[in-house]
Structure 1
């Protein structure tokens, strides 16, 4: 990563958002501006969410994630296979969520090296060690 991001944990409150990201990506690729997409998300309920706050929150996060894609990757997101799109959404999360990036780098990268392409509960315990009792270092797991 080129820029230093502050630690944040968006994966719990704003998980994968695959469908929302692809919808917004299609609009962006078709020439709509980020402001236009945000307005559609809020006013026309583009992502079919219940509350105004959630509409804004999802729109802002999806647009933040899409902003890390260049035109080539944006095109692959909207015209590529479902698997390619899922990998690109994962890439955008890694580019915008430092904690998730470091988890993937420190835990999943090691798993891939030894040909174990899955993550188990123990891997989370390794990365987020428990302090005393049930208290944890990260509010992401609460």
Structure 2
């Protein structure tokens, strides 16, 4: 299933959200429809958020990620190791967020393929400057929105295990499980493995 994506800053309201994605995948496995899942998440506060506003901001992204992940990978995510969960969540974020995918592909993968394990502020600034030149949409975003997005990207790198420390600059290479690697290759999505630095 291909989702036509355009650039978005939705990662600001919905960064890693691994626990939340697993809650939605469990409900999907039970056979609940999208509307029923949304209703249960809100009524039972399944994301365990303190306020409804945060649920409303995060839920559309989580629903998209759950849709993008497919049944085989959803089963792996619910039964696999924490490393598998993080890798699959990173894949789901890339698959549903074009700008983040390009960041992974053009900045992170490039660095890892060159055995450069430092991600610096200038790398991220350069990426966003270049995207603003290519896209009117990105160019129209406020400086504050872009700054928040840069922080969200670093947060995703940290929570996925690709950044050694929360405030650090040192990258880690993910060890991607063979089942994930084989499945993504079989369904023609090896570019996501490449974007993770493989």
Count of residue correspondences: 138
Structure 2 stretches lacking a partner, 5+ long: 133-137, 149-198
Q: TM-score normalised to the size of structure 2?
A: 0.62
Match of 2:13 in 1: 13
Q: Give CA-to-partner distance per residue, 1:20-48, whole Å, 9 cap, x none.
A: 11222222223333222211111111111
Cα distance between partner residues in 2 of 1:86 and 1:100: 16
Stretches of structure 1 that go unaligned for 5 or more consecutive residues are: none
TM-score of the two chains, using structure 1 as the length reference: 0.84
Specify whether residues 34 and 111 from structure 1 end up closer, same or farther in structure 2 by C-alpha distance, changes over 3 A only. Answer: same
Range with bigger deviation, 32-41 or 68-77: 32-41
CA distance in 2 between partners of 1:44 and 1:87 (Å): 28
Q: CA RMSD in A?
A: 2.4
Q: 1:78 to 1:7 in 2, by over 3 A?
A: same
- Which structure has greater helix proportion? 2
- Which 4+ runs in 1 deviate beyond 3 A? 1-4
> Alpha-carbon deviation of 1:106?
0.8
Flag the 1:87–1:122 CA change in 2: closer, same or farther, 3 A.
same
Distance 2:120 2:91 in 1: 20
Secondary structure of 1:11's counterpart equals helix
Secondary structure of 1:73's counterpart equals: helix
CA contact (8 A) 1:21 1:66 kept: yes
